């Protein structure tokens, strides 16, 4: 069965430091992949998505993610974290249907 | 351009009561999806609706749960005779179109969720 794993439940980084959030998927063919962010009291906001083509995807708020088929990964990165990036981040995938499969989320804390 | 709206944001019910969760999709979106997030778990698909039609309810428990998306008004997720295990966050998403995710117009946009607590 298709699954998405986010190994890190909590991550703490200092403001200005780089960030990488891990996401691994389990699916035979190439999935469609998404990263969403949820700030407190807000809905899930789409950061970026990968459908096909260039494996390095640029998103909003300075985020990027790289699809690596050999590692079944779609890690989210940001070169310099801002305090406003503190939130919960969800990785999701789909085989091409409306049934998104979500990871359990990574909660990011940013130290001043 | 308002996003997906959900209300209430927090709902407390006692065991045996009914819970009604409402979702208003983004303007121009006619497809609605409900997901449930149990504690320490990821969001899980429950049901997919278009106006006046249930397309796929394979993720919804067979008993006590129902969903509708009437011609007028919001989509409603209804849980009858709630039990403690129903305590969760319920998220609604909408998209302009349905099953083909290859187009950016099919991406699902999520609301803030309703946090249901059953005492």
Per-residue pLDDT tens digits for A58-110: 999 999 999 999 999 999 999 999 999 999 999 999 887 788 999 999 999 99
A97 CB neighbours in chain B (<8 A) are 99, 101
Show the tokens assigned to B71. 């011609």
DSSP conformational letter for A69: G
Evaluate if residue B22 carries a pLDDT over 90: yes
The Cα–Cα gap between B23 and B73 comes to 9
Overall average pLDDT of the B89-102 stretch = 78
Confidence of residue B99 (pLDDT cuts 50, 70, 90): low
Contact B67, B53 (CB under 8 A): no
Q: Rounded to whole angstroms, what are the CA distances from A4 to A91, B30, B85?
A: 7, 28, 23
Quick one: which of A60, A88, A89 has its CA closest to A74? A89
Quick one: which of B90, B110, B76, B73 has its CA closest to B38? B90
Is B45 within 8 Å of A90 when comparing Cβ atoms? no
B82 by Cβ neighbours in 10 Å (0-12 / 13-18 / 19+) ranks as buried
The mean pLDDT value of chain B amounts to: 90
Which residues, in sequence order, are CB contacts of B15 under 8 Å at separation 6+? B81, B82, B83, B84, B118, B119
Hey, is B58 helix, strand or coil? coil
**Residue in A46, A99, A101 closest to B107 by CB:** A46
A98 CB neighbours in chain B (<8 A) are 31, 33, 45, 48, 56, 95, 98-99, 101, 106, 108
Is A98 within 8 Å of B110 when comparing Cβ atoms? no
pLDDT of A83: 95
pLDDT of A67: 94
**Tens of pLDDT along B109-118?**
899 999 999 9
A interface with B, Cβ–Cβ < 8 A, is 4, 6, 32, 34, 36, 41-46, 49, 51, 90, 92, 94, 96-105
Overall average pLDDT of the B67-85 stretch = 95
**Tens of pLDDT along A14-62?**
999 999 999 999 976 778 899 999 888 777 899 999 988 889 999 999 9
Counts of helices then strands in chain A (DSSP H, E): 0, 12
pLDDT of A91: 96
**Residue in B101, B104, B113 closest to A43 by CB:** B113
């Amino acid at each position: 069965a298709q699954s998405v794993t986010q190994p890190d439940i909590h991550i703490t980084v200092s403001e200005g430091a780089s960030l990488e959030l891990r996401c691994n998927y389990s699916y035979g063919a190439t999935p469609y992949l998404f990263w969403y962010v949820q700030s407190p009291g807000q809905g899930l906001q789409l950061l970026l998505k990968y459908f096909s083509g260039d494996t390095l995807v640029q998103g909003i708020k300075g985020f990027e993610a790289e699809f690596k088929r050999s590692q079944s990964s779609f890690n989210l990165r940001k070169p310099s974290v801002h305090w406003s990036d503190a939130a919960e981040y969800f990785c999701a995938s789909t085989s091409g249907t409306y049934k998104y499969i979500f990871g359990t989320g990574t909660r990011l804390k940013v130290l001043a | 351009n308002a996003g997906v709206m959900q209300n209430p944001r927090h709902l407390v019910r006692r065991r045996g009561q009914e819970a009604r969760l409402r979702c208003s999709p983004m303007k121009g979106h006619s497809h609605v999806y409900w997901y449930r997030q149990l504690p320490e778990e990821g969001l899980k698909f429950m049901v997919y609706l278009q106006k006046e039609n249930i397309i796929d309810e394979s993720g919804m428990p067979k008993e006590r749960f129902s969903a509708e998306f009437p011609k007028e008004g919001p989509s409603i997720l209804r849980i009858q005779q709630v039990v403690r295990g129903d305590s969760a966050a319920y998220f609604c998403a909408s998209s302009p179109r349905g099953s083909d995710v290859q187009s950016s117009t099919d991406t699902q946009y999520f609301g803030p969720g309703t946090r249901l607590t059953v005492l």
